[in-house]
Every structure is written in structure tokens, then in C-alpha cells.
Structure 1
Amino acid sequence: MQVGVDYYPEHWDPALWAQDALAMKSAGISLVRLAEFAWSRLEPTEGRFDFTWLDEAISLFHAQNIKVVIGTPTAAPPRWLVEQYPDVLPVNHQQQRVYPGVRCHRCYNSPSLRQCAQRIIEQLTQHYADHPAVIGWQTDNEIVANDCHCEHCRRAFTTWLQRKYGALSNLNHQWGTVVWSGEYGSWSQVTTPLGGSPYQNPSLLLDFCRFTSDSAADFNRFQAELIRQYCPDHFITHNLWGYPVVGDYYDLFASMDFAAVDYYPSTDLQHDEKANIYHGALTLDLTRGVKRRNFWVMEQLSGTPGCWHPMSRAPFPGMIRAYAWQSISRGADVVVNFRWRTARVGAEQFWHGLLDHHGHPGRRLREFSQFSQEVARLAEVIDGTQLHNDVAILFSHQQLNAFTVQPQCDGFNYFNNVKQLHRVLVQQGIGIDVINWLERIDDYKIVIAPYLFLENATVVATLERFVTAGGIVVLTTRSGVKHDNNVCQPDDLPGLLSRLAGVRVAEYDPVGHDRQQIRLGAEMVGCSQWCDIVEPTTATILGCYASDYFSGQAAVTVNAFGKGQVYYIGTVLDDRGYQRFFAPIIRACAIEFCPDLPRDVELSIRSDQDKRVLFVLNLSKENKTVALTEYSRYDAFTGEPVAGELLLAPFDVRILIEPRQ
């Protein structure tokens, strides 16, 4: 376990560096990330390198036994590079260059960018390969799939399509370009989706999403290969920035040793729409699922956010510590806070760090120091522990992009609907892995496979094997609708999943915000967005609609398949509906859960062969009381036995050790 900060020596008078390094050491910091935006200082003019300032800063940290992660600076091409090689700039769908003014102004397919990036990465890695303070590298910064339409991207996209479809006639057939006279007569007519209209051929739009995602992943792989050539003993990671995004994080991180995330949970717990890309526990569970192993937080909340939106509220007392422990509870082995000093220059002057503009220690630094001291005390206990959950949710960037290309109805949002499923289970204390929909699932008891809009025969076969062996699968509406090429399949819904689910969808109604009712067992629950009118073939009805013209028709079913069961939810239930639906399934699988867990309290368990470490977090401004199941456990900080109810103050954190029997 380590605690660190992000630091920008190039922004500050060198006279402050030694003072900052000493203060960091006193605060319990053992790691810093440096230089990810410093290309113009590292290479002031083309081919002329100056690492003396970075050498000095790293030496000061090394003297305090603080380790260093260096970021490759490719997210911020310097002015000289843009001036001399304008092809590095992206081109928008109106064929206009996107000029710098902020960061990330680069096209991944630009030969000039690759050439200049290779040079700076080779210089950096050779220079620091043997430095005792440097332990690893972060590639670039928050890579996303560029919507670039330059000539390099057009040619690369054409090559990508030729590899996928072979003959142009096959592309025309697979995309259905006969619609609106969209047929291509030669490869020269194939372009990126120019003009920006969302109503272009949906197969073109989805394949362009895939291409841009692949371009980003290839740029990341290109950097990783260079770093490994010169620094084979250093780790390599990247910092993803949240969900949802176009790029496929599973592909992006294939070349990385482990995943890292930038995590800024909302500081306005009720109304902060500005922070809606950071989805609390879901962001952390998604990050852990990228490599299916523990991860790092490369940027963690330290103060009031503000730059890309008006400033949010200041973190409530205890929030910085609680959310840092939340990251650890869900698999983070290292937490790096952004940032040490709040910037006095540039666009992020109001994205607050641990120290305000005046640089004097205050409440936030004291709270951070408490957290770092606690991590030091418990490092030996937590090191080597991991999460071992019985429930998985399958997540797919392919489905996300397909739903974005063609929205289904008012209020229907793939990511938000996955978030709801995740939230309902977290609110009952259930541990969940969120993993790539294409990966193995043998280790779970329950697999939730929501909204499999695009059919995938391999995924269907994986689910069938899992259920045949005794697993439980939960399927949802809007499954099996399309082939992989984003055209509708001609069979009854849910397509290839029909045999597994034991149902056919006779009709559907995109009800949107028009809320409906379902009788689920003895209880009435709500639903909205979409209503499949389900006809069982081999399944048993669990719930029927109790409203509108489809009242009395099946909505929720279960099908016996092999040794397991498959549930089909033909609509989007409300929270109470999902709670009512999942409770008997969770009980039947003997999975630990806490149906009476107070709102905004989270439970998470990391374990090894000797013990379980239970984290109980109150992520609210109110006092909470938690009744835990009977178990032999003691407080990790005091060593005192813990039994019965826990009383939690606002943003309180309790860490309990449960020895293996």
C-alpha cells in the first residue's frame, strides 16, 4: 500500500521544491507522479532536450525516499511541434483543424506525432532507466478516442475496413448501404462520417467508433513497447478518466501492467450534475474489472473541483479520507491525490489540491495526513488482499456505443441502466465485479448480462456453458436485437438468447417516461422505459404487467437450463422492483447481503487465505447505524472485538478484521 500526490515542479519556483518534498514526507507521502504535461520544458525546441530541472526535482524526492512515476508528455504537444507539424492536429467532421488551446490536441494516426512522441519517450526512458527513484511510467493522460477526420485517419479507416470486410461489395451488403442510395462504388468514396449528422448509416457510425477506439489503443501500445524496450523492469499503466466514453478501455489497457483511474467523486451529494462521470463505487468496480486485478488511483479528490465546469462544493469534513478508503476497499493498492499545491496559473487554478493558493497547511492536508498514517499502520494487513465476489455484471463498450448511435426511447440510457443495477446491489452490501462481456465467467454464482443489444455467438455460448454447469444468468430487455454489424436480426427477440431464456418477445412498447406497474410475486412494483410483452416457450412466469393494454401479460420469467437458471426481465424495473427481484436469488445462492443497509453506507471485503478485511463506510453527512451479521471480528485500528450494531458518524470509516476459521 502506498499514498502519493501529483506534483508539477515546472509550475513552481525551484526554491519551493525541497520544502515541498520535506512536507510531503511529513504527510506520509511515499510516491509522486511527475511530468505528464511537461513536453515544452523537456524538449524546448525540436531535438534539444533539457532534463536538468526534472533531475533536480527527482533528486530532492529521492533524498526523502519518495518514489517517482513519470508520465509521458504526449497529451500536450508543444507549440513548436504544432507549428512545424500541423498534421498532428485533429480535424473535425467539418474538415477543420482543431487548434490547440487546451490539451489532448493530437491525432493518434499522425506520422509526425508518432515520430516526435517516439523521440521524447526514448530520451526519457533511456535517461531514467536506472534512476533508483523511478519505479514506473504512466502513458499519456486520460486517453480518449479522437473524433478525427484528417487524411491520415481516412486512409487508416479505409485500411481498417478492408481488413474487416475484404471486398467492397461485402461492406455494402453488411452495412445495408442500399438505403438512401448510400452504396459505395470504389474505396475512394469511403470516408469517415463527415458532417456530424447522427442519422448516418448506423453501421458506419459504430465501425467508426470501433476504429477510433482501436487507434487510441494502438497509440497506447506504441508507447508501452517503447518504454519496455528501455525500462524492462519498470511497470507501465495509464489513467482512465471515467465513464462513459467511446473508447474501449479493455483494449486500451491490454498493453498495460495494471489499470489506474482518476477518481473525483461528487462533493455535492445531492445536486452535483457536473461530476456525473465519476460514478462512485461503479467507477472503481469498472476499473478493477479492466484487468480483473487490483488497481491504482492516479488522481484522487483533494479539494473543490473546478475548471471544466463551475466550482463544486468543498469536500465536507471527512470526505477526502472516506473516499480514499473507499478506493482501497474496492481494490486500489495505491492512492495518489491530485494535487499537492493548487495551481496559481493556467486553466486549472480552481481545481483545488491539498494546499490552497497560499500554500499553508489546512483542514484538507490534515485529513489527508490522517489517511496516509492509517494506510501505513494497516499496510501489512491489507497488502496482498483482493476482492473475491460471487456476482458479476457484464459491461460492453460495444453495446454502449451502439445504443448511443441509435437511442431506443426517452430515458433509456445503457450506462445509467447498468449503474442502476449496480447501485441496487451495492445498497444491499453485495460485492460485484464489473467485467468485460467477452471474458470468462466460471468463478461466479450469478452473472447479470444486461442489454446485449448486439448479438455475439461466443458470448451466448459462454453463458450457456455457465448455466448448464449450474450458474444463474440474468438477461434483460433489448437483448439480441442486432447483429455485430449494427443491423437488426430477422428472428424473434431475444435472438440467439431465446433458447437460453426460454421466451420470445411477441411485441414491445418503448414506453419511455410513461411509468407502468408489474405484479412481482405478491408485490406491486414500477417499471418504465421499455416493455417487452413476453411469451414463455419453456420459461415460468414470475411477474406480469398490471397496467396499460398489456396488463396480465408476462414481464419477468425464469427458465431452467441444464443445472442452472436464466431470468429474463422484459423491462426496466424501479429500485424497489430490482430489490424484490434479486432478494430470493441472492438468498438461494447463499451470498452474503444486508437488505437493511442504510442508504449511502457501503460494505466491501478484501481477503486473503488468512483473513477477510471488511470495510464499512458511511458516505453521507448523517449519522448511520449498521447491523452486521454475526461474525468473529475486531477493529483494525484498536484491536477491540466488534459485535452487534455499528454507529457511524458522517463520513466515518470502520475497518474490521475477520480471521479465517
Structure 2
Amino acid sequence: MKVGVDYYPEHWDVSLWEQDARQMQEAGITIVRLAEFAWSRLEPTEGKFDFEWLDQAIALLARHEIDVVIGTPTATPPVWLTHNYPDVLPVDNKGNAVFAGVRLHRCYNSPSLRKFGERIIEQITRRYASHPAVIGWQTDNELAANDCHCTNCTRLFRGWLQRKYGSLETLNREWGTVVWSGEYSDWNQVTTPLGGSPHLNPSFLLDFRRFSSDAVAEFNRFQAALIRKGSPGKFVTHNLWGYPVTADYYDMFDSMDFASVDYYPATDLQDDSKSKMYHGALTLDLTRGVKRQNFWVMEQLSGTPGCWYPMSRTPFPGMIRAYAWQSVSRGADTIVQFRWRSARIGAEQFWHGLLDHHGQPGRRFEEFVQFSTEAGKLAPLLEGTTLKHDVAMLFSHEQLNAFQIQPQADGFDYLGNIKRLHSALLRMGVGTDVINWREDFQGYKFVIAPMLYLIDEEMAGKLKRYVENGGMLLLTTRSGVKNMNNVCLPDRLPNLLTELAGAYVDEYDPGGKDAQTLSLESGERLSCGQWCDILTPVTAETTATYSGEYFAGKAAVTRNSHGKGVVYYIGTVLDEKASQVLMRRIARDAGIDCSLELPDGVEVAIRQSDERRLIFVLNLSKEPKEVSIPIRNCVRALSGGSFSGGNVKLAPGGVEILVQVSSL
């Protein structure tokens, strides 16, 4: 277990570096990330390199027993590069260059970016390959697919399509270009999606997103290969940006040793619209699922966010510590806070670090020190532990992109609807592995496969085998709608999944923000909305019916026995309460322990090895909470007291960590 900070010595007078390093060591910091935005300082002019400042910074940190992760600086091409070699800059869908001035201003397919990126990576890896303080590398920073329409991207996209479809005849047929006279008669007519209209051919748009995602993944592989050649034996990772993004993280991270994430939970707890890209526990579970192993947090919230929008609320007392422990509880083995000092220069002056602009330690800094002290104490217990779950949720960048291309109904959101199901399990204390929908899930008791809008025979067959072998499967509305080329399938929904569901969709109503009501057999009424599949059961039994409008009394939720297993189909989008009620029922049906009823804002997560279990009980809210934990024979890791089941009282931002050793 390591605790660290992101540090930018190049932003500060060298006279402060010794003070910073000493204070870091006193605060329990053992790792620092450096240089991911420093290309202009490492190569001030073309071919003229300056590593002396970085040599000095690394040596100073090493003297204070602090290890270093170096970021390759390709996220910020310097002015000399973009000025002399304009092909580095991406081109928008109107044909205009996206000029430098912020960051991430580069086209992954630019020959100049590849040429000069290769050179700076070779230089920096060669210089620090054998340095004992440099333990690993981060590629670039927060890679995401560029919407680039330059001549290089156009040429490569055309080649990508030629490899996929082989002929224009096949492409025209598979895309359905006959609509609106969009048929191509020559490959030179095929371009990237120019003009920016969201109503271009959806098959065309989805393939362009796939191509753009492939370009990111290939760029990451390019960097990883250079790093491993220049600095063999040291890890390579990347810091992913929170969901949703266009790029497919599962492909992007195939060249990485482990995943890292930049995690900034919302500080405006009543309205997280400023931080809507972050989904709390779901973000961390998604990150763990990228490589299906523990991960790092390369940037963790340290203070008031503010740059890309007006400043958000300051983290409440206890929040920094509690959310750092939340990351650990969900599989993080290293926590790196962003950042050490709040910047006094540049665009991120108000994205606050552990130290404010005056540089004096305050409440947030002391809270971080408390966390780093506790993490150091618990490091031996955390070593070798991970999360082991009976429930898997299948996540798909393919579905995410397809839904973004063609929004289904007012308010219908792929990630938001996944979060609702995930949160329902969270409230029951049920841990969930969120994994790539194409990976093996056969060993789980319960698999949630939400909104499989795009489907093929291979995926339908995997789901069928899982259920026939005794699995519990949950399908939802907007499943089996299209093939993988984003073309609607010809039969009744859910098409390839109809036999599994044991029911078909007679018709559907995209209800948007109009609320609907469900009736259970018990008489209980629940709320739903966004979308209503009006189901006709064939072999399935009806679990819930609609209560209003022309489809009153029609099936909304069904349960079907198939082989040795069971398939539930939820034909609508449940609200928070309804999600909890139905997910608890399905989890019990699957034999999952879902006995906890956690208050809002409280999370329970378990890391374990063969020798011990660590049960994290976290209050991520501003109010005191109390929760009953029926686990016996535990030791309170932070206080040393014993715990034999009962109520746990948690202050705002409160943390309790219970240790259960197998020999007890």
C-alpha cells in the first residue's frame, strides 16, 4: 500500500523543493508522479533536451525515501512542435485545426506526433531506466478518443473500413447507405463523418467511434512498447478518465500492467451535475474490472475542484479521508492525491491541492496525513487482499456509444441506468464486479446484462450457456435491438434473446420523463419511467404489471426458467426504490446474501485473502449514520478494539475497518 501526491516541481521555484520533499516525507508520502505535462521543459526547442531539473527533483525526492512514477509528456505537445509541424493538431468536423492552448491537443495518427513522441520517450526512459527511485511509468494522461478529421485520420479510417468490409458493396449493404442516397461508388468518397450532424448514418458513426477508439489503444501500445524497451522491468500504467468516454478502456489497457484512475467524487452532494462524469463506487468497480485486478488511483480529490466549470463545494470535514478509504475498499493498492500544492499559475489555479496557495498546512492536509498514517499502519493487512464477488455486471463501450449516437428517450441514459442497478446492490451490501461484456462470466451466481442494445450470435450463445448451466441472468429493456453494425434486427424484441427471456415485446412506449407505476403480485406498487416494454410472456411468468395507461395489466417484469437457470427481464427503468425492491428479490432468488439495509451514503466493501477479511464500513455523507453489521469475531483495525456484531456508529465521513482472521 502506497500513498503519494502528484507534484509539479517545474511550476515552483527550486528553493521550495527541499521544503516540499521534507514535508512530504513527514506526511507519510512514499510516491510522487512527475513530468506528465512537462514536454517544453524536457525539450525546450527541437532536439535540445534539458533533464537537469528533473534529475535534481528525483534525487531530492529519493533522499527523502520517496519513489517516482514518470509520466510520458505526450498529452501536451510544446509550442515549437505544433508551430513547426501542424499535422500534430487534430482537425474538427468542419475541417478546422483545433489549436493548442489547453492540453490533449494532438492527433494520435499524426506522423509528427509519433516521430517526436518516440524521441522524447526514448530519451527519458533511457535516462532513468536504471534509477532506483523511478519505479514505473504512466503513459500520456487521460487518453480519450479524438474526434479528428485530418488527412491522416481520413486515410487510416478508409483503410480500417476496407479491412473490415472488404468491398464497397459490402459496406453499402451493411451500413444501409441506400437511405438518403448515401451509397458510395468509390473508396475515395469515404471520409470521416464531416459536418457534425448527429443524424448521419448510425452505422457510419459507430464505426468511426470504433476506429477512433482503436487509434487510442494503438497509441498506448506504441508508448508501452517504447517504455518497456527503454526501461525494462518497470511497470507501465495509464490514468483513465472517469466514464463515460468514447474510447474502449478494455482495448486501451491491454498493453498496461494494471489500470489507474483519476477519481474526483462530487463535492456538491445534493447536485453533482458539475461532476456527473463520476459515479462513485461504480467508477471504482469499473476501473477494477478493466484488468479484473486491483488498481491505482493516480489522482484523488484533495480540495475544491474548479477549472472546467465554476468551483464546487469544498470537501466537507472527513471527506478526503473517507473517499480515499473508499478507493482502497474497492481495490486500490495505491492512492496518489492531486495535487501537492494548489497552482498559482495556469488554468487550474482553482483546482485545489492539499496545500492552498499560501502553502501552509490546514484542515485538508491534516486529514490526508491521518489517512496516510492509517494506510501505513494497515499496509501489512491489505497486502495480498482483493475483492471476490458472486455478482457480475456486464459493461459495454459498444452499447454506450450506440446509445449516445441515437438517444432512445428523454432522460434515458446507459450509464445512469447501470448506476441505478449497481446502487441498489450497494444498498444491500452486495459487492459487484463490473466487467467487459465480452469476457468470461460463467463462474458467477448472478449476472446482470443491462441494455444489450447491440447483440450477436456469439454473445447470445454465451448467455444461453450460462443460464442452462444454472446461472441467474438479468436482462433489461432495450436489449436485442440491433446487430453489431448498428442495424435493427428483423424479429420481435428482444430478438436473439427472446427464447432466454421467455417473453417478447409486443410494443414499446418511450415514456421519457413521464412516470409509470408497477404492481407486484404482493400488491406493492413501484415507480418506473423512461421506457416501457409491453411484454407478452410465452414460457415466462409475470412478476410485475403496469398499472396505468393503455397497457395497464400488461407484463412489465418476467421470470423464466431455462435449463438449470433463471432469467429475469425488466422491461422498464425502475426508480431508486423499485430497483432496490426487485434487485433484492432477484439476488435472493440467486442465493446471494443481501441481508444488509444500508442507510443512504453508507457503503460496505470487503477485501480478502485466504488468511483474512477486511470489512470496510464507510459513511460518505455529511450526516452521522448508524448501521447494523452482523459479522462476529472481528478486530477494529484502526482502534484495536474487538467487534462481535451489532451497530456501528459513524460520524460524517466516518470509517470503520473490521478485520476477520481465518484462525479466529
TM-score category, normalised to shorter length: over 0.9
Alpha-carbon offset, residue 231 of structure 1 = 1.3
1:277 positional shift: 1.0
Q: Secondary structure at the match of 1:366?
A: helix
AA aligned opposite 1:203:
S
2:660 paired residue among 635, 658, 661: 658
Partner of 1:553: 554
Look up the SS of the partner of 1:425 in the other structure.
Answer: helix
**Cross-structure match for 2:427:** 427
Q: Is the 8 A contact 1:619 1:651 kept in 2?
A: yes
Partners of 2:347 and 2:620 lie apart in 1 by 30
Aligned to 2:98: 98
Alignment match, 1:587? 588
CA deviation string 1:259-303 (max 9, x = no partner): 000001011211231111111101100100000000000000101
Is 1:601 the counterpart of 2:602? The answer is yes
The AA in structure 2 aligned to 1:610 is: E
In the alignment, is the contact (CA less than 8 A) between 1:90 and 1:149 conserved in 2?
yes
Cα shift at 1:378? 0.3
Matching residue of 1:357: 357
The answer as to 2:222 corresponding to 1:222 is: yes
What does residue range 78-157 of structure 1 map to in structure 2 within 5 Å?
Answer: 78-157=78-157
Residue in structure 2 matched with residue 391 of structure 1 by the alignment: 391
Asked if the contact 1:71/1:137 (under 8 Å) is kept, the reply is: yes
Asked whether the 8 Å contact 1:304–1:313 carries over to 2, the reply is yes
Cα contact 2:420–2:579 (8 A) shared by 1: no
- Greater alpha carbon shift after TM alignment, 102-111 vs 517-526: 517-526
- The offset of 1:594, in angstroms, is 4.0
Counting aligned pairs with the same residue, the percent is 63
Question: After superposition, where does 1:441-456 map in structure 2 within 5 Å?
Answer: 441-456=441-456
Residue pair 1:479, 1:494 contacting (<8 A) in 2 also: yes
Which of 633, 646, 649 pairs up with 1:647?
Answer: 649
Amino acid at match of 1:657: V
CA contact (8 A) 2:7 2:341 kept: yes
Q: Mind listing any 5+ residue stretches in structure 2 that lack a counterpart?
A: none
Partner of 2:531: 530
After superposition, the Cα gap between the structure-2 partners of 1:104 and 1:246, relative to the gap in structure 1 and judged at 3 Å, is: same
Partners in 2 of 1:521 and 1:628 — Cα distance?
Answer: 31
- Superposed, 1:477-626 pairs within 5 Å as 477-522=477-522, 523-626=524-627
Measure how far apart 1:543 and its partner are: 1.1
Q: In structure 2, how many angstroms separate the alpha carbons of the residues matched to 1:245 and 1:2?
A: 28
For residue 73 of structure 1, give the secondary structure of its aligned residue in structure 2: coil
Q: Is the 8 A contact 1:272 1:312 kept in 2?
A: no
Deviations 1:133-162 (A, max 9, x none): 000000000000000000000000000000
| Conserved 8 A contact 1:533-1:570 | yes
2:642 aligned counterpart, secondary structure: coil
* RMSD (CA atoms): 0.9
Secondary structure of 1:254's counterpart equals helix
CA distance in 1: counterparts of 2:3 and 2:97, whole angstroms:
41
Structure 2 counterpart of 1:318, one-letter code: G
1:253 is paired with a residue whose SS is: helix
* 8 Å CA contact 2:424, 2:583 repeated in 1: no
Q: Describe the superposition over 1:445-493 as per-residue Cα deviations: whole angstroms up to 9, x where unpaired.
A: 1000000000122221111111111110000010000011001010111
SS in 2 for 1:115: helix
Q: How far apart, CA to CA, are the structure 2 residues paired with 1:201 and 1:301? A: 40
2:526 is paired with a residue whose SS is: strand
Contact preservation (8 Å) 2:421, 2:583:
no
Number of aligned residue pairs: 661
Residues 170-213 of structure 1 show CA distances to partners (whole Å, capped at 9, x for unaligned) of: 00000000000000000000010000000000100000010110
C-alpha deviations, 1:380-418, integer Å up to 9, x for none? 001110000111110001001101111111111111111
Q: Is the 8 Å Cα contact of residues 391 and 431 (structure 1) preserved in structure 2?
A: yes
Q: Look up the match of 1:169.
A: 169
What is the rounded CA distance, in whole Å, between the counterparts of 2:69 and 2:459 in structure 1? 38
8 Å contact kept, 2:58–2:68: yes
Partner Cα distance (1:215, 1:521) in 2: 51
Q: Aligned letter for 2:568?
A: Y
Deviations 1:296-338 (Å, cap 9, x if unpaired)?
Answer: 0000010111111111111111100000000000000000000
Runs ≥4 in structure 1, deviation > 4 angstroms?
Answer: none
Give 1:575 deviation, angstroms.
1.7
Paired residues for 1:163-312 under 5 Å: 163-312=163-312
Task: Verify the 8 A CA contact 2:623 2:652 in the aligned structure 1.
Answer: yes
Report if the CA contact (8 A) 1:294-1:332 is conserved.
yes
Does structure 1 retain, via aligned residues, the 8 Å contact 2:70–2:138?
yes
Q: Distance in 2 between matches of 1:575 and 1:363?
A: 35
Deviation at 1:634, TM superposition (A): 1.6
Asked if the contact 2:70–2:134 (Cα under 8 Å) also holds between the matched residues in 1, the reply is yes
Equivalent-residue separation in structure 1 for 2:100 and 2:572 (angstroms): 45
